[in-house]
Amino acid sequence: MPTSSPRRTVEYVLFDMDGLMLDSERIYTIATNEVLGKYGKEMTWAIKAGCMGKPEREAGMHTLSFFPDIPLDVDEFLRERNRVQDTLWPTVPLLPGVRKLVFHLKKYNVPMAVATSSRRRNFEMKTAHHQDILRCFEGKIICGDDKQHTMKGKPAPDIFLITAATFLGIDVGGPDIATLENHVKERAKGLVFEDALSGMQAGKRAGMSVVWVPDPNLLKLDRNVEEQPDQILRSLEDFIPEEWGLPPYDE
């Protein structure tokens, strides 16, 4: 598919998780609509798009803002939704192309990590049956509620900068310090894989290249944002590593 800017040669890779590696956005939709359905309501894709990539509580507040007549506060809503989600997490599958790409990058020792807005509790539940993939990251995973890291949620660049600096040892600086010339150069060597609009924005604001793999429903919506992805793919199956200076797949 066409790209919006020339390719860069990248040296490290950061993955989002929900909707990018795992087909978990579908479960968020099922659980949310089970709660809303009790009140005759339903989450549309226009509403869902504003939730994707954001921390859980912020996403919950966004959803409820469209339904002011529902007699639930955000804590009650999240409790009900989580009850449904918890029964479904053990069934969530990997999305196409994930296993091939992650194992390939691991084989060639490409530095990589996961930067997800998911709560650590949910992350552990939804990935418990995908430990072969998780082991490839060697624990280099940041979740949105990790208290040891002070982060603003996506579309702020914080999670990608902190993940690259903390787990990959890349001198990218940080979200709350002055950005130096060397930081800019190191940020430009990173490649972010995202499915959410806010995640794509976060990656670009971090000064990294972004491969955006959005749900087709997301592409149907207006996206009036300044940031644009470097590449849009239908699936990670369509990713060609050598276009980014990475080792090509083995035949």
152: pLDDT strictly greater than 50? yes
Residue 133 in contact with residue 93, Cβ under 8 Å?
A: no
pLDDT of residue 49: 86
**Quick one: how far is CA 227 from the chain centroid?**
16
Grade residue 30 by pLDDT with cuts at 50, 70 and 90.
very high
Say how far apart CA 47 and CA 122 lie, in whole Å.
22
pLDDT digits (tens, 9 = 90+) for 190-241: 999 999 999 999 999 999 999 999 998 888 887 788 999 999 999 999 999 9
Grade residue 163 by pLDDT with cuts at 50, 70 and 90.
very high
pLDDT of residue 4: 41
169: pLDDT strictly greater than 90? yes
Q: Which of 18, 158, 195, 230 is catalytic?
A: 18
Q: Which of 16, 158, 195, 230 is catalytic?
A: 16
Segment 9-38 shows an average pLDDT of 95
Catalytic residue list contains 158: no
99: pLDDT strictly greater than 60? yes
Grade residue 55 by pLDDT with cuts at 50, 70 and 90.
confident
pLDDT of residue 52: 85
pLDDT of residue 5: 43
pLDDT digits (tens, 9 = 90+) for 125-138: 999 999 999 999 99
pLDDT of residue 3: 44
Q: Using a pLDDT cut of 90, give the percent of the chain over it.
A: 84
pLDDT of residue 86: 93
| Structural element, H or E, at residue 185 | helix 181-187
Say how far apart CA 137 and CA 152 lie, in whole Å.
23
150: pLDDT strictly greater than 90? no
pLDDT of residue 148: 87
Segment 157-177 shows an average pLDDT of 96
pLDDT of residue 25: 87
Segment 147-174 shows an average pLDDT of 95
Grade residue 1 by pLDDT with cuts at 50, 70 and 90.
very low
pTM of the model: 0.88
- Environment class of residue 220 by beta-carbon count within 10 Å: exposed (0-12), middle (13-18) or buried (19+)? exposed
Tokens of 157: 């660049």
2: pLDDT strictly greater than 50? no
Catalytic residue list contains 75: no
Residue 150 in contact with residue 113, Cβ under 8 Å?
A: no
159: pLDDT strictly greater than 70? yes
Question: What CA–CA distances, in Å, run from 158 to 1, 13, 117?
Answer: 29, 16, 11
Pairing of β 12-15 and β 112-116: parallel
pLDDT of residue 11: 97
**Residue 75: helix, strand or coil by DSSP?**
helix
